[in-house]
A = this chain, B = another copy of it.
Amino acid sequence: MRVSIKDIARTAGVSHSTVSRALNDSALVSEATRRRVKHLAEKMGYSPNTLARSLVTRRTDTVGVVVTTITDPFMSEVVKGIQLAADEHGYTVILCSSEETPEREMAAVEMLRSKRVDGVICIASRIGALYLDHQERIDAPVVIINNHNEQTGRYPFTVSVDNRHGGYLAARHLVQKGDRRIAYVSGPAAVNHSSSRDRLGGYRQALIETGIEPDPALVVDGNGCPDGGERAFEALVTLREPPTAVFCYNDMTAMGLMHAARRASLSIPEDLAVVGYDDILLASYLSPPLTTISQPKIEMGQRAMRMALSLMSDEGASKEMSGTSEALVQCRLVTRASTVGRQDKNPRAVGS
């Protein structure tokens, strides 16, 4: 039988409100009864019913997190950052996975709404602009990680890296290294998924700045997964003029591409230089270790959570005031052996 404050009130010989006060360290109870009540609660194995509490306080101390798939190392890291910041502030995380489909993402948000979460964080959302409507419906702040809105240019609340800059850094690195035919393997195609396009934009800019005419044939489709990278490689090697370097949407893609290249007996970086994006843990353990654009994943998660926290506290006030806000975090180039000589002899160069 579950014990409630009523039960402990009865056996303590006080009213249930006194118990409530004691348990919540209200100033309106004598030190004596507080101790007695707390001791009793402990002894009786009491566990506060947060459902009941939330019903009256109108706060659940819970945030919903929506990912496309938890399996992606990038996602896991960001989620970890969210988790850390969350339970640092006594918040709980409800995790939802959209499995890449917009419908499931919508369903997840709706479910979070009915669970009355205090806020929601979406990573690499697939429904984009629709959130603007949802944000009104859900009556809780929504912060988005790594998306920009097509229409307005950005969501009300976002944290993201400067993807364009990242793409620029990657391509410029290759150019400086001497490559002229540099390919780009894109990420998952999705209407409102701008990160790949932004990286592509930076890549183009770097080429043009150096007087290289971007060749559309060198831009091929990927899907953010290793198999996409493998297919991209096949597409690239069959070109009349194959690239000497490839910039991949992310590390997973690069991993697949490198695997395919090795199977084709190409050596990296001699025959083909490769740059990834994300700097996931395994990047430095690949052979050769992967040059990549590092994103502060944990930090991004923390930033997003903190942003949500502040929106949840000041709510109405600052929310209406600022109206919109965007946190840009820094990304940086981490140079490893997949683009330059025998650097993996020196493991101290490993980033992350």
Which residues of A are interface residues toward B (Cβ below 8 A)? 2, 45, 47-52, 54-55, 60, 69-71, 73, 76-77, 79-80, 83, 87, 92-97, 104, 110-111, 113-116, 137, 139, 226, 255-256, 258-259, 262-263, 281-282, 284-287, 344-345, 347
| SS class, residues of chain A in contact with chain B | helix
In addition to A51-B55, A70-B80, A87-B104, 16 A-B residue pairs with Cβ atoms within 8 Å of each other are A50-B115, A51-B51, A55-B55, A70-B70, A70-B79, A73-B73, A83-B97, A92-B96, A92-B111, A92-B115, A95-B95, A258-B287, A259-B284, A262-B344, A263-B344, A286-B286
A45 to B133, CA, bound (A): 12
Residue numbers in B under 8 Å from A96 (CB-CB): 87, 92-93
Contact A69 B80, beta carbon cutoff 8 Å = yes
Cα distance, A99 to B14, chains bound together (Å): 41
Question: Once the chains are docked, how many angstroms separate the CA of A93 from the CA of B73?
Answer: 19
Contact status A47-B95, CB under 8 Å: no
Nearest B residue (CB) for A288? B287
The answer to whether A93 touches B95 (Cβ under 8 A) is yes
CB-CB under 8 A from A345, the residues of chain B are 263
A282 touches which of B48, B95, B282 (Cβ 8 Å): B282
A71 touching B80 in the complex, CB below 8 Å, given contacts A114-B47, A115-B92: yes
Question: When the two chains form their complex, are residues A255 and B285 in contact, meaning their CB atoms are under 8 A apart?
Answer: yes
Q: List 28 A-B contacts (CB under 8 A).
A: A2-B139, A45-B137, A47-B113, A47-B114, A47-B137, A48-B114, A49-B55, A49-B116, A51-B51, A51-B54, A51-B55, A51-B60, A51-B115, A51-B116, A70-B76, A71-B73, A71-B281, A76-B76, A80-B97, A83-B95, A93-B94, A226-B281, A226-B282, A226-B285, A256-B285, A258-B285, A262-B344, A286-B286
A92, A94, A284 pick with most chain B CB within 10 angstroms: A92
Complex CA–CA separation, A281 to B347 (angstroms): 24
A52 to B111, CA, bound (A): 14
Most buried by B among A115, A137, A281, A286: A115
- Collect the chain B residues with CB atoms within 8 Å of residue A93's CB: 94-96
Query: Smallest distance from the beta carbon of A284 to chain B beta carbons, Å?
Result: 8
Cα A59 to Cα B52 in complex, Å, equals: 13
